[in-house]
Amino acid sequence: HSGWGNGMYASDIWPNAKTVGYFEWYYNSPGPDVAFLYPEPLTYDQAARSRSRNAPILVDFASVDFGFCPTHWQKSQFPEVFDKKLIVHHDGVDTE
């Protein structure tokens, strides 16, 4: 689960292994995760804190061979520059 730091050193430990990241969320400012909490525009401090949450996600992204998101909407929250490395693969249960 990328962004928690657990995959940060995987390619150092296993340099010949392919690595896959699970990228569930990318923080934008303002983003849907905080927009409903603050009726007023975010302060610069709040916006910076929200964007800073992407640091471990971006470190993981730099080291994986590819990543996946569970939905198209979640993928759309990531910058377009990541499109070629990020695929959508639902992680839920197929009830059909």
Nearest by Cα to 3 from 29, 31, 22: 22
* 31 neighbors 51 (Cβ within 8 angstroms): no
pLDDT for residue 69 = 94
CA–CA separation, 58 and 23 (whole Å): 10
Write out the chain's pLDDT in tens, 96 residues.
888 877 888 888 999 999 999 999 898 876 666 655 666 777 888 888 888 889 999 988 888 999 999 999 999 999 999 999 999 998 888 787
Q: What does the pLDDT read at residue 94? A: 76
Alpha carbon distance, N-terminus to C-terminus of the chain = 26
